[in-house]
Amino acid sequence: MGNSVISNHIRIKMRKICFCPTILLISSILYGQQGNQSPTPGSASEKKNYTVSGFRHGISFFPEIRLLHVQYEAGDSLTFDKYHSTDVIYSWLERWADDFPELVELYEVGISFEGRSILQITITNKKTGKDTDKPAAFFEGGRHSGEVTGTESVMWLAKYLLERYGKDPDVTYLIDTKTIYLRPVNNPDGHNLYLRTAQSNRSTVRPEDNDNDGLLDEDAPDDLDSDGLILTMRWKDEKKGTFIPDPRDSTGRIMKRVPAGQGIYLTASEGVDNDGDGRINEDGIGGLDLHRNYPENWRPQNEATGRGFTQGGAGEYPLSETETRAVVTFLLSHPNVYMVNSMDTSVPMHLRPPSTSPSEERMFPEDLKWYKTFDELGKKITGYERAGDVYNDYGGGSPLFGHGPDFGYWYFGAIWYGDEIWSGARNKDYNGDGVMDQLDVLKWDDEENDSLGFSDWKPVKHPVYGEVETGGFDPKFFSQNPPSRHLEPWVKNQALFNLEMAKHLPELAWEPFEVKKVKSYKSDSTDYQLKISFRNKGKLPTALKQAHLVKIVNEDRIVLDFDTTGSVNGKPGYKVISEEKPATSRPGRGGYGDMERPVQRPVVSRNAGYTQGGAVTTAVFLIRFYNRTELKGKASLYSTRGGVLKDKEFNISSNK
């Protein structure tokens, strides 16, 4: 990321790390050669290197490029016919904070491995209450470096909400009554690497030994022809060949795999075997997976027995990575968040927990019912054919450990999706054979994308193999993400699904209070019944059952604050009968959070359980007067995920 984004809203903390890694000879020679070649199409003519922080045994600098699908400087308007660099995204976050100060709060939630700010915005009407006093949703993108479509969907939603506030009644009502937390770029280091070099990686750029040879990042891909893409590389070998031109493709562009020795080509990702281990590009920049670094059901990358489960990319320990930690610490400090979608690419699919077992084995039926409701709702809005759990519906019975959606449900007790956007251009079965394969993808590219997604094979000089050819589908803006001209429909539909989920959040409103005299005594005392009622106007209950189980939420709680004016002989002149004792909170033991009620006046509180969508909850208080004719007060309602209602007045009087 450049240094252009600085404002009074946030302080961008950049840490410049100097290092002298061991650089393998082949990579050094190769990148020296690249400096003499023609500029990358779509890039600035002045050659610069992009340097990645951290000690590694391979190259840490790469030619900095400008990709035609990406906008690198912010303009007067934000459109979605291009992807946006981190600088552009952060510029728009600042601009929105300036232009909509009553709706937007911009702040830093963490610092990346390379020292970049991780920025987030809160969208809510500040005049109608604090963000933490309202039910909330959290949407993020950019966790996986190359899956940048999720970032654009977050930005599309932010723009949609802000530009429609005050014009669209549904959007206005949502922002008045709910809170939306948006984090466009979870992993700014990877986002920058992906959009400013030919390199790709999974998540963080922290050096990692992906091939277990004791070396870190020693075999990154090499852009042999300096076109800004790491394409497929093929070379002739009729003794070991495993590919032939696909006979179904008259243009000769795509290939078909055949048994070894029956083909005429061998293939690999474009690059060089920099560490001489017989493999190409097997240990590039980074390699940890931020989506396997969550604490729920985490497993190590290696274990001692050889018989246990392991998880590649898991990190040294749960939440070892600052980017994942920034998500978890924010959410645990904001338990008003009920709804989460942390978006990736590219299946496409609405993807949810569980990741290690079938849904019916581990989830409460009433919670699973809500997930299935959102599965179907999502498919209707986005058109995705698939929706379901990670373990069965996505993985076919193969577990994923340390996965975000599992943390979201079992640890955080929320609705949490990790949706996969974009189809990899598998959009139509042209020949009707029931399979959307490379031939269908190529046909779609020709008909709908002006054949821009496939690079024709061209000769390149390889330092080891001699004459090779590079070509194939664009790995960044065709296979992994939509071509920029096709971007907006995908990010829009995904954002509209997220918006619809937010509209299902609980919403609490007072019902009329009831006061009734129930009994009079000869000793000048009288009992009154006070009924305090509220309705959940939203669709979701104020808590999932799992949230209650793990105590991430408190029960809905009614608090009565009495005005003791008019006390009798220095005494309050009333008593609440069968008053519920307040929950105790001892240091280190947990308990109820600060509900911001005044402590100098007598208060009575009562738990009211959890309120289903559309239901009314009533708490009954029996209050005895002693030589008193009137008692005034205010009722407040505190619900962790249903929000806060404050200071509804009531009056108990013998004259009514």
The band of 584, judged by pLDDT with boundaries at 50, 70 and 90, is low
pLDDT at 554 exceeding the cut of 50: yes
In whole angstroms, what is the distance from residue 109 CA to residue 119 CA? 6
- Of the candidates 493, 538, 634, the one whose C-alpha atom is nearest the C-alpha of residue 137 is 538
The band of 26, judged by pLDDT with boundaries at 50, 70 and 90, is very low
Tell me, rounded to whole angstroms, the distance of Cα 503 from its chain centroid: 18
Q: State mean pLDDT over 240-244.
A: 97
pLDDT at 165 exceeding the cut of 80: yes
Q: What is the pLDDT of residues 488-533, one digit of tens each?
A: 999 999 999 999 999 999 999 999 999 999 999 987 899 999 999 9
- Of the candidates 318, 319, 324, the one whose C-alpha atom is nearest the C-alpha of residue 342 is 324
What pLDDT does 29 receive?
40
Report the run of H or E that residue 235 belongs to, with start and end.
strand 232-236
Dihedral of alpha carbons 576, 577, 583, 585, sign: positive
Report the run of H or E that residue 382 belongs to, with start and end.
helix 365-382
* Boundaries of every domain in the chain: 91-196+289-422+484-502, 232-269+430-478, 508-583+595-653
pLDDT at 36 exceeding the cut of 50: no
pLDDT at 9 exceeding the cut of 70: no
The band of 367, judged by pLDDT with boundaries at 50, 70 and 90, is very high
Q: State mean pLDDT over 231-260.
A: 97
Q: State mean pLDDT over 226-255.
A: 96
Instruction: Give the C-alpha distances (Å, rounded to integers) separating 463 from 27, 33, 259, 467, 468.
Output: 10, 11, 27, 9, 10
Burial class of residue 608, CB neighbours in 10 A (0-12, 13-18, 19+):
buried
What pLDDT does 276 receive?
95
pTM score: 0.91
**Angle at 31 (CA atoms; ends 26, 36), nearest 5 degrees:** 130
Question: 269 near 199, Cβ under 8 Å?
Answer: no
> Residue 517, SS3?
strand
- Of the candidates 273, 266, 143, 281, the one whose C-alpha atom is nearest the C-alpha of residue 199 is 281
Structure tokens at 229: 């893409």
Mean pLDDT score across all residues of the chain: 91
The CATH architecture one would assign to domain 91-196+289-422+484-502 is 3-Layer(aba) Sandwich (3.40)
Burial class of residue 70, CB neighbours in 10 A (0-12, 13-18, 19+):
buried
- 12 forms beta bridges with none
Q: In terms of pLDDT, which residue wins out, 427 or 593?
A: 427
Structure tokens at 238: 């009729």
pLDDT at 553 exceeding the cut of 50: yes
Residue pointed to by tokens 């830093």: 108
pLDDT at 42 exceeding the cut of 60: no
DSSP-assigned states of every residue in 77-143 = S--SSSEE-HHHHHHHHHHHHHH-TTTEEEEEEEE-TTS-EEEEEEES-GGG--GGGS-EEEEE--S
Distant-in-sequence, close-in-space partners of 507: CB < 8 Å, separation ≥ 6: 135, 177, 178, 536, 537, 538, 642, 643
Tell me, rounded to whole angstroms, the distance of Cα 645 from its chain centroid: 29
What pLDDT does 538 receive?
98
Instruction: Give the C-alpha distances (Å, rounded to integers) separating 123 from 104, 180, 342, 651.
Output: 5, 5, 17, 37
Q: What is the pLDDT of residues 85-115, one digit of tens each?
A: 999 999 999 999 999 999 999 999 999 999 9
What pLDDT does 22 receive?
37
- Of the candidates 414, 440, 413, 405, the one whose C-alpha atom is nearest the C-alpha of residue 425 is 440
What pLDDT does 588 receive?
53
The band of 654, judged by pLDDT with boundaries at 50, 70 and 90, is confident
Report the run of H or E that residue 159 belongs to, with start and end.
helix 149-164
Q: State mean pLDDT over 583-589.
A: 52
In whole angstroms, what is the distance from residue 88 CA to residue 96 CA? 12
DSSP-assigned states of every residue in 176-189 = HH-EEEEES-S-HH
What pLDDT does 580 receive?
53
- Of the candidates 114, 99, 117, the one whose C-alpha atom is nearest the C-alpha of residue 184 is 117
Q: What is the pLDDT of residues 458-497, one digit of tens each?
A: 999 999 999 999 999 999 999 999 999 999 999 999 999 9
**Angle at 474 (CA atoms; ends 70, 476), nearest 5 degrees:** 50
What pLDDT does 12 receive?
38
Select the CATH number that applies to the domain covering 508-583+595-653 from these four: 2.60.40.10, 3.30.750.24, 2.60.120.10, 1.10.3720.10: 2.60.40.10
Per-residue burial over 265-301, b = 16 or more CB atoms within 10 Å of its CB, e = otherwise: bbbbbbbbbbbeeeebbbbbbbbbbbbbbbebbbbbb
Dihedral of alpha carbons 588, 591, 595, 600, sign: negative
In whole angstroms, what is the distance from residue 506 CA to residue 645 CA? 13
The band of 37, judged by pLDDT with boundaries at 50, 70 and 90, is very low
What pLDDT does 534 receive?
98
What pLDDT does 586 receive?
53
The band of 318, judged by pLDDT with boundaries at 50, 70 and 90, is very high
The band of 587, judged by pLDDT with boundaries at 50, 70 and 90, is low
pLDDT at 653 exceeding the cut of 60: yes
The band of 27, judged by pLDDT with boundaries at 50, 70 and 90, is very low
- Neighbour tally for 461: CB within 10 Å: 11
Report the run of H or E that residue 603 belongs to, with start and end.
strand 603-607
- 603 forms beta bridges with 561
What pLDDT does 628 receive?
87
pLDDT at 583 exceeding the cut of 90: no
Tell me, rounded to whole angstroms, the distance of Cα 647 from its chain centroid: 36
Q: What is the pLDDT of residues 412-450, one digit of tens each?
A: 999 999 999 999 999 999 999 999 999 999 999 999 999
In the chain, what is the straight-line distance between the N-terminal and C-terminal CA atoms, in Å? 69
- Of the candidates 189, 84, 624, 137, the one whose C-alpha atom is nearest the C-alpha of residue 334 is 137
Question: 265 near 235, Cβ under 8 Å?
Answer: yes
Q: State mean pLDDT over 142-160.
A: 97
Q: State mean pLDDT over 295-310.
A: 96
Question: 195 near 64, Cβ under 8 Å?
Answer: no
Question: 642 near 540, Cβ under 8 Å?
Answer: no
The share of the chain scoring above pLDDT 90, in percent, equals 85
Residue pointed to by tokens 């390889």: 462
In whole angstroms, what is the distance from residue 480 CA to residue 148 CA? 9
Residue 333 gets which letter from DSSP?
Answer: T
